[in-house]
Amino acid sequence: MTPEPAPTLSQLLAFYLEAGVDCALSEEPVDRLSDSRPTEALKAASVAGEAIAARMLRSAPAPVAPASDPLPAPDAAIATAREAARTASSLEILREMLEKFDGCALKSTATRLVFADGNPNARIMFVGEAPGRDEDIEGLPFVGRSGKLLDRMIAAIGLDRTKVYIANVIPWRPPGNRTPTPQETQICLPFIQRQIELVDPEILVTLGNPSTQTLLSTREGIMKTRGRWLNYDTGTRVIRAMATFHPAYLLRSPSYKRLSWQDLRAISKALAHITS
Ligand code: URA
């Protein structure tokens, strides 16, 4: 059988990109082939021939990343998250808890925690889905292209990041920006719920479908939910909530900016009403 030709560098990069690998995880490359397995196998080959080496290669454990504590079962992780979040008496403590929390696999692939940006005393809070690549690098939500659009949307109603609070349902970047699994969302949910409770805004704005469906407990799509006043119940208080399009969606479908402007105007009006 003729061996397949080795892939060219550009083919390899295209393959990585398609698989969702769009940034390096560390500064230095890791030589996964330098573990003891092939060396032992080679030694065996010289002593006892290829057959033994082949058997060793087959039976030896595959090379794996350095051992770390196994993740707890999802139900246990959700229960731990609930318990931890419930006892967080301030946003700082909640952030520390998240830094220490090991129940969500996304933490191990993300560069850092993306907790929040803006003013913790703001009267309005925006919640997106999960950090992307730029947010993962900077440790702040909505700093990439869609973040720039969010800044412009906020500016359009006379606000900026000193007057709003911004967070995500998931505080770690999913690898390759894949959609978070329902389990990952459920594990992170108690933390964002507590974050909303601690910020205690007058108005909560959910950005896009995933954040809306998760926080406002609806199965309806964003086309139906956007622009309507809904209730977000913290358990101790009901907060007025509105869903609107995610800025990343608006970048792809600019014709919906008109509707998002309507939502922003309704939000601005409600804010003015609450102030007076
Ligand atoms: N998209 C999100 O939902 N959140 C971010 O922080 C960035 C992009």
Residues 47, 87 within the same domain: no
Number of domains in the chain: 2
- Shared domain for 146 and 51, answered yes or no, is no
Structural domain boundaries, residue 248: 74-275
Any ligand 1 atom below 6 A from CB of 128 = yes
Sign for the CA dihedral angle at 118, 120, 126, 128 comes to positive
Residue 209 covered by a domain: yes
Q: How far apart are CA 196 and CA 237, in angstroms?
A: 11
Query: Does the beta carbon of 214 lie inside 6 Å of ligand 1?
Result: no
Q: Are residues 16 and 126 in the same domain?
A: no
Residue 266 lies in a domain: yes
106 and 240 assigned to the same domain: yes
- Looking at per-residue pLDDT, the higher value among 197 and 40 belongs to 197
Q: Is there an atom of ligand 1 within 6 Å of 141 CB?
A: yes
Cα separation values, 248 from 6, 67, 213, 245, 259, Å:
37, 37, 17, 8, 15
Judge whether 250 lies within some domain: yes
Which atom number of ligand 1 is nearest to the Cα of residue 166? Answer: 6
Q: Are residues 143 and 22 in the same domain?
A: no
Q: Specify if 259 maps to a domain.
A: yes
Distance of alpha carbon 172 from alpha carbon 113, whole angstroms: 5
Please tell me whether residues 242 and 179 are part of one structural domain: yes
Is residue 1 one of the residues assigned to a domain?
no
Q: Which of 246, 249, 250 for mutating ligand 1's site (highest number of atoms within 8 Å of CB)?
A: 246
- Distance from chain centroid for Cα 39: 40
Q: What is the pLDDT of residues 178-219, one digit of tens each?
A: 999 999 999 999 999 999 999 999 999 999 999 999 999 999
For residue 177, the domain's CATH number is: 3.40.470.10
- CA 197 and chain centroid, separation: 20
Q: Point out the least confidently predicted range of 33-47, 107-121, 130-144.
A: 33-47
Give residue 56's pLDDT.
Answer: 40
Whether residue 265 is contained in a domain is answered as: yes
Q: What whole-number distance in Å separates Cα of residue 129 and Cα of residue 182?
A: 12
Instruction: Identify each DSSP E strand in the chain by its residue range.
Output: 117-118, 124-128, 165-168, 203-207, 229-233, 238-244
pLDDT digits (tens, 9 = 90+) for 78-128: 999 999 999 999 999 999 999 999 999 999 999 999 999 999 999 999 999
Closest ligand 1 atom, CA of 146?
8
Residue 2 included in any domain: no
247 lines ligand 1 (CB under 6 A): no
Indicate which atom in ligand 1 lies nearest the CA of residue 208: 3
| Token reading at 188 | 């992170």
Which residue pairs, CB below 8 angstroms and at least 24 apart, start in 236-241? 236/197, 237/200, 239/196, 239/200, 239/201, 239/202, 239/203, 239/204, 240/202, 240/203, 240/204, 240/270, 241/203, 241/204, 241/205, 241/206, 241/215, 241/216
Rounded to the nearest integer, the mean pLDDT of the chain is: 87
* Interaxial angle between packed helices 91-100 and 74-87, expressed in degrees from 0 to 180 and rounded to the nearest 10: 150
Determine the atom of ligand 1 nearest the C-alpha atom of 128: 3
**122-133 pLDDT per residue, tens:** 999 999 999 999
Q: Is the pLDDT of residue 48 over 70?
A: no
Same domain, 51 and 98: no
For the Cβ of 132 lying below 6 angstroms from any atom of ligand 1, the answer is yes
- The sign of the torsion formed by the CA atoms of 192, 95, 168, 18 equals negative
Ligand 1 centroid–CA 253 distance in Å is 17
Q: Which of 113, 146, 222 to mutate to test the pocket of ligand 1 (most atoms within 8 A of CB)?
A: 146
Residue pair 94/194 in contact (Cβ under 8 Å)? The answer is: yes
Please give the distance, rounded to the nearest whole angstrom, from the Cα atom of residue 128 to the centre of ligand 1. Answer: 5
Task: Please check whether residues 136 and 44 belong to one and the same domain.
Answer: no
* Domain identity same for 156 and 122: yes
Atom of ligand 1 nearest to the CA of 141: 6
Q: What percent of the chain has pLDDT over 90?
A: 72
Kindly state whether residues 182 and 109 are assigned to the same domain: yes
Whether 179 and 215 map to the same domain: the answer is yes
Q: Is the CB of 168 under 6 A from ligand 1?
A: yes
239 and 184 in a single domain? The answer is yes
Query: In this structure, is residue 65 part of a structural domain?
Result: no
Asked if the model's pLDDT at residue 68 lies above 90, the reply is no
Instruction: Give 180 Cα–ligand 1 centroid separation in angstroms.
Output: 12
Residue type, position 258, single letter: R
- Rounded to the nearest whole angstrom, what is the distance from the C-alpha of residue 7 to the centroid of ligand 1? 34
Candidates 96, 79, 106, 94; CA nearest to 193 is 94
Q: Is the CB of 135 under 6 A from ligand 1?
A: yes
